[in-house]
C-alpha cells in the first residue's frame, strides 16, 4: 500500500480536484483506492456525492474508538472508496495533540488498511498544523499544487527543508504547476521554467480550465464525466508522472 497526499499550505490551489481525479484514474487503472477527505469543508466528499458525516466524528476515528473501516463509503466508481469529511475534522489538531506520538498517529491508523487498498489518497486541509505534520509523516509521496508565484516557490522550499529534517521515513515531494492561465505571461514563464530547473516539479501542468470548475456541478471527477477533455488528459499525464516516480 502506498500513501499519496495532496498538500499545500494555501487554499484554492487545486488540491481537492487533484486528489479526486488522481484517485479516479488510479482506480480506473486497477488499483484499489481509498480517498480520505481530511478537510472539514468536505469538498472531495461533495464531489463524490457522499454526505460529509462520520459517526462519532473525527475524534472517534483518531482515538481508535471507531474503525476507519466502518466509516468508509463506496463511490460510484469501481475500486474507489471514500472516507468522508466531517465538520469535527476542524478540531483534528486538538484531538491529535491529546494522543500519544501525534505525528505518527495517522500512519498507524492507516496501516491495517494495507490488505484492502493499494493506494490511499489523503486530501489535506490548507494549513500548517499537527494534522499536516502527521500527514507528511504518513505519506510516501506528496503531491503539491503550485500556483505560479514567487511566494509559492519559496513555500515549496520551506516544505522540502522541513521534510529533510525528518528522522527515518521521508515522503518524496512532487510539485506541479496548477491553475495555469496561459493568457498571463508570468504564469507561462514560471510554468516553463520551474519543471526545467527543478527535479521535484512535474513536467505536467494543470491549466485553469472551466471544465475543472464544472466538477462541482457534475459532482464527479472530470476524468469520469469528460474523459477525453484536455483537463482529463492533463490529469492522466500527471498520474503517469506520479506512477513513474514510485507509485
Among 40, 46, 4, residue whose Cα is nearest residue 22: 4
Q: Which stretch binds another protein (CB under 8 A): 49-57, 60-68, 86-94, 192-200?
A: 49-57
Residue 200-219 contact track with another protein, rule CB under 8 A, x = bound: -------------------x
**Nearer Cβ to another protein, position 47 or 202?**
47
Q: Which stretch binds another protein (CB under 8 A): 72-80, 118-126, 134-142, 184-192?
A: 72-80
The three three-digit cell numbers of residue 3, written as one number: 500513501
Among 10, 153, 20, 9, residue whose Cα is nearest residue 85: 20
Q: Give the total of residues touching another protein (CB under 8 A).
A: 12
Query: CB neighbours (10 Å) of residue 150?
Result: 9
49 binding another protein? (CB under 8 A): yes
51 binding another protein? (CB under 8 A): yes
Among 186, 160, 184, residue whose Cα is nearest residue 173: 160
- Any idea what DSSP says for residue 98? T
**Nearer Cβ to another protein, position 48 or 139?**
48
55 binding another protein? (CB under 8 A): no
Which of 11, 64, 76, 114 touches another protein (CB under 8 A)? 76
From residue 32, alpha-carbon distances to 23, 38, 101, 114 in Å are 9, 19, 29, 10
71 binding another protein? (CB under 8 A): yes
**Cβ 181 to another protein shortest distance, Å:** 31
167 by Cβ neighbours in 10 Å (0-12 / 13-18 / 19+) ranks as exposed
Among 83, 66, 139, residue whose Cα is nearest residue 106: 139
**Cβ 22 to another protein shortest distance, Å:** 21
**Cβ 76 to another protein shortest distance, Å:** 4
- Interacting residue ranges for another protein, rule: CB under 8 A: 48-51, 71-76, 81, 219
Amino acid at each position: 500500500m502506498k500513501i499519496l497526499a495532496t498538500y499545500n499550505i494555501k487554499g484554492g490551489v487545486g488540491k481537492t480536484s487533484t486528489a479526486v481525479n488522481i484517485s479516479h484514474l488510479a482506480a480506473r487503472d486497477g488499483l484499489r483506492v481509498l480517498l480520505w477527505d481530511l478537510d472539514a469543508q468536505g469538498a472531495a466528499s461533495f464531489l463524490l456525492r457522499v454526505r460529509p458525516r462520520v459517526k462519532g466524528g473525527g475524534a472517534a476515528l483518531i482515538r481508535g474508538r471507531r474503525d476507519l473501516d466502518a466509516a468508509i463509503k463506496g463511490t460510484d466508481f469501481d475500486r474507489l472508496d471514500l472516507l468522508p469529511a466531517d465538520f469535527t475534522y476542524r478540531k483534528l489538531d486538538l484531538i491529535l495533540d491529546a494522543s500519544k506520538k501525534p505525528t505518527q498517529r495517522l500512519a498507524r491508523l492507516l496501516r491495517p488498511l494495507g490488505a484492502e487498498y493499494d493506494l490511499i489518497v489523503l486530501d489535506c486541509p490548507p494549513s500548517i498544523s499537527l494534522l499536516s505534520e502527521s500527514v507528511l509523516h504518513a505519506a510516501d509521496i506528496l503531491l503539491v499544487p503550485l500556483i505560479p508565484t514567487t511566494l509559492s516557490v519559496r513555500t515549496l522550499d520551506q516544505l522540502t527543508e522541513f521534510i529533510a529534517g525528518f528522522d527515518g521515513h521521508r515522503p518524496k515531494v512532487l510539485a506541479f504547476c496548477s491553475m495555469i492561465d496561459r493568457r498571463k505571461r508570468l504564469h507561462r514563464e514560471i510554468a516553463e521554467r520551474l519543471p526545467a530547473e527543478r527535479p521535484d516539479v512535474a513536467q505536467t501542468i494543470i491549466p485553469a480550465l472551466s471544465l475543472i470548475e464544472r466538477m462541482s456541478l457534475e459532482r464527479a471527477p472530470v476524468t469520469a464525466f469528460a474523459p477525453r477533455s484536455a483537463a482529463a488528459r492533463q490529469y492522466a499525464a500527471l498520474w503517469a508522472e506520479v506512477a513513474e516516480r514510485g507509485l
